[in-house]
Chains A and B, each alone.
Chain A
Amino acid sequence: MDIDLDGDEDFDSGGSKLTCPGEPLTSAQDYMRGHGTYVENEEVIASVAGTIERVNKLVTVRAVRTRYNAEVGDLVVGRITEVQPRRWKVDANSRQDAVLMLSSVNLPGGVQRRKLESDELQMRTFFEEGDLLVAEVQAFFGDGSMSLHTRSLRYGKLRNGQLVVVPPILVCRLKSHFITLPCGVDLILGLNGYIWVSKHVKQSDREGEEGFDAEAVYSNQNDAIDDFTRIAISHVTNIIRALATRFIPLSDTILLKAYEWIVEQGSDVKDLLQEDIGDALVAGITAIG
């Protein structure tokens, strides 16, 4: 089956077209092949399952299931895998481990400060293996791996909560990826598909009184978390899992709606693990919207 790409309205309408591997997309004479396609017999053919995109004469297919493709400025949640001289290796669900340089984190004793040899010797007091952090993509290296930075008071080590992993394509780009739900739960939607669900902490507490408090920022200690918050965190986690398994894109509004639906239904936390409740949730929130 040939897909007609000649009508421009196909691309402008916003309704994305799905394709699957092996499907001929268009003629290779008129169009250039982009990522996710190859040329055979003068035809551009999809090599992955996903949505067809076109920029002028360049046809690409964005894969549905893929690793995270980073862009500069993206907010990601990552996990430290290795401590190396003057840098950390970070697993950010990308094809290669990301790099966090010692020079791109906030060091104790002031935001603007040169790194010292003593900092190099105590890198594990900032981040050690297994630690989760939220960071921003700063730049790319020559080999395509990304460099992160945590030079903002909102970025840094994560605590008081749990991690959920979803396919990266499901995380929408939002105005802010730091979301606070009214149930006392903070969400950090990493564009790499790692989502941190945690207890709500006031902005001022997180950053410390003096602007930057290294003790608080690099602490491994959780705050006291009450039972209600714990249940809410589990609820939100299960909602995210239920939506992700049914391939619903995650945004702040959808999550809020889903949480309201759950509260309305008065269902227990573990109910969402059941297939039919998850289906009902999706049906419920898509019907409202």
Chain B
Amino acid sequence: MSISKAEKSYIQTGLLSAPPRRQDGRSLLDFRSIALETGVVPLANGSARLLIADGTEILAATKLQVQDGPLPQLTCTVTCSPAAYPHLSPAALDDVQADLTALLNGTLSRHRPDNLTILPGKKAWALHLDIIVLADAGNVCDALFMAARAALWDTRVPRTRGVEYKARKDSGFDMQTAPPDFELADYWDDGEVLGGRDTWPVSITLNIESSVHYLDAILQEEASTPLRLLLMYSFPGPILQGMRTIGSGDLSLPQIKALLADGEKYALELMQALNAKLSEEDVRRNQKARDRFEQRY
């Protein structure tokens, strides 16, 4: 999105004045309100919809597929709805999608949940994470990671057990040591949660305008800020999972150190808030399921 020089200078002067003034009156570190709901896609193993202040809207869903061979990596795909970026040409939209996909893949695919193996070395669940950006009103990266985290948190892995069909003893063939096939332990059961689901990273975007940095930029602010620093942290730790600068500005090493320390603090707060909300969602959905069950019987 291109904005005029006057708008740009208005935003920049506001950020650098004392006290800093943003367009909608938020302070530098204020986030807009975020709405989050899990379990929105019935056919997915886990899903979430995230909305930042009626603007940025993300739908994330995970799907588990049985795959032969050793444990595969998590694959992420980000699709942007053309309605989210009406001014972009289809080719430019593809670029945005590829960029976001690479960002998400590079950070998340290193994580390997420990309960995706079905038959060691032979069969495993391949985890696919598909995300759609339905609308973009700024800060799409943080929203992506939050939605991804929520969908992965919500993912249930079906319980399986190995099955083996043995010939009768008298035939003399009993070479198999590990079971060659598996079956679902309980068809009606959703299964167990992904291993280490609270270690998925969160992302925090620091928008850097010369001496100050601020969070959760709206589109106009993004367009007028020369440099953005993306930090992906996972907890406990904290472990820095990824880092990226976007924009034409530059940063010195001492600056980066200071920003890392700040970013860690914000990421921790964001993660705690997100975890609290996700636990609440778990309770809400389990409660709903129980109530429905009780009504029926």
Q: Which residues of A are in contact with B by a Cβ distance under 8 Å? A: 79, 81, 91, 129-132, 157-163, 220-222, 225, 227, 230-231, 234-235, 237-238, 241, 245, 268-270, 272-275
Contact = CB atoms under 8 A, between A and B. Distances in A.
B164 interface: no
Interface in B79-137: 87
What size tier do the contact residues of chain B reach? Answer: 20 to 34
Given A160-B10, A222-B9, A245-B54, A234 B4 contact: no
A200 B37 CA distance: 43
Contacts of A274: 33
Contact of A132 (B4, B26, B27): B4
B32 A230 contact: no
Nearest to A226: B17
Contacts of B24: 234, 237-238, 241, 269-270, 273
Contact of B25 (A91, A131, A225, A273): A273
Given A129-B2, A158-B6, A270-B25, 7 more contacts: A130-B7, A131-B5, A227-B19, A238-B25, A269-B25, A273-B24, A273-B33
Contact of B4 (A220, A238, A268): A220
B179 interface: no
Nearest to A268: B25
A40 B9 CA distance: 55
B23 A220 contact: no
A222 B25 contact: no
Nearest to B54: A245
Contact of A270 (B10, B11, B19, B30): B30
Interface of B: 2-7, 9-11, 13-14, 17, 19, 21-27, 30, 32-33, 53-54, 87, 220
A221 B19 CA distance: 22
A159 B14 contact: no
A161 B10 CA distance: 7
A220 B13 CA distance: 14
Nearest to B18: A227
23 contacts: A81-B87, A130-B4, A131-B5, A132-B6, A158-B6, A162-B7, A162-B10, A162-B11, A162-B220, A220-B4, A220-B5, A220-B6, A221-B6, A221-B9, A227-B21, A231-B25, A234-B23, A237-B24, A238-B24, A245-B54, A270-B24, A270-B27, A274-B33
A275 to B, nearest CB: 8
A91 B2 CA distance: 12
A78 to B, nearest CB: 11
Nearest to A234: B25
B41 to A, nearest CB: 25
A273 B26 contact: yes
B253 to A, nearest CB: 34
A46 B297 CA distance: 44
B162 to A, nearest CB: 52
A224 to B, nearest CB: 9
Contacts of A275: 33
A35 to B, nearest CB: 22
A262 B6 CA distance: 28
Contacts of B9: 220-222
A230 B26 CA distance: 13
- Residue among B9, B25, B26, B32 with the highest chain A CB neighbour number at 10 A: B25
Contacts of B7: 130, 132, 162-163
Nearest to B25: A269
- Residue among B3, B23, B53 with the highest chain A CB neighbour number at 10 A: B23
Contacts of B220: 162-163
B6 A222 contact: yes
Given A162-B23, A234-B25, A268-B25, A273 B6 contact: no
B6 A227 contact: no
A225 B23 contact: no
B53 A159 contact: no
Contacts of B14: 230
Contact of A273 (B3, B4, B10, B32): B32
Contacts of A160: 6, 10
A222 B13 contact: yes
B4 A131 contact: yes
Given A129-B2, A130-B3, A220-B5, A270 B13 contact: no
